[in-house]
Amino acid sequence: MGNDGGSIPTRRELVKEAARNPTTTQVKEAQREQQEHAWTNCPLSHKPLTRPIVSDSVGNLYNKDAIIKFLLPGDEAEGISSKSDCEEILCGRVKSLRDVVELHFEVDSERGGPTGDLNGRHEGWICPVTAKQLGPNVKSVYLVPCGHVFSDEAIRQLKEDRCLQCNESYTEDNIIVILPTKDADKQRLIERGQKLAEQGLTHSLKKAPGSKKRKKHANGESSTTADNEPATSSSANKTNGSTGIKNAATAMLTARVLEEEKEKKKRRKMMGTNENIDSLFTKNSDKRKDADFMTRGFSIPAGAKRI
């Protein structure tokens, strides 16, 4: 090659623009954007976070209806990512509703009401003690088992052992950092989850399904039973509806999700039996080659004149 006015670049010229390691500022900016997204969007449904919101043992946030859809039997559920993608996100931390805690946020009335949006902005949450805006710029925590959310500053300064909202007692281990960024906080939550699993407890401090507990009979003898055994007639009366869930709000949400799934299946079934659509496709029992226009192709009538 030559005489074309071009040039061949040397290696020195090519490596001038080689990719460089991101600066500290760029890393912090990327982390901030990631935190903002996690504070406003559910990773399972990819929809904006809307109450009721739940959190797992490591402080991640999800829409409660997305968790319920994931837990429903079946290979796939509409409205969320595939089951395999959800399992990859959850990493086995959520096997039942006992593995999540519903969070109770104090809503900033100036920014948004219970509907979740005001002028296109996300619903605002504040700390009920310091009135600071909760989000990626403020380290926030919630208490187990009650789920009330505060700024970390408020909890550390007051040093109480009871929730300031509901007076529920809690321990130091049950202060959960929301979407932690520090490795120390992440490691503490992982170790807490492992400790609870060894004790047969879930993130919400309830008995893990399948764990055994002892019952005392009238004669003083004890026997072991599993938590997942069918409920007796006395305990079954306490459940709400056919879902068998004792919490009224959760039972209503589960029933709504089940009803939505039922309607979607019904619509798909109706589409499958539509005669107009059905006529486009050949039935296995139909042996004719010209059963429909998609398979028969074009044929010249016998009496047609050729030109």
- Give CA–CA dist 176/141, Å, rounded: 5
68 CB neighbour count, 10 Å cutoff: 21
Q: Amino acid identity, residue 1? A: M
At 110 the pLDDT is: 72
Per-residue tokens: 32: 């901030």
Taken in order of first residue, the domains within the chain and their CATH numbers are 26-209 (3.30.40.10)
Residue pLDDT, tens place only, 81-114: 888 999 999 999 999 999 999 999 999 877 654 4
At 305 the pLDDT is: 61
Residue pLDDT, tens place only, 225-279: 444 444 433 443 444 445 555 566 666 777 777 777 777 777 766 665 556 555 5
Statement: residue 150 has pLDDT above 90: yes
14 or 36, which is more confident? 36
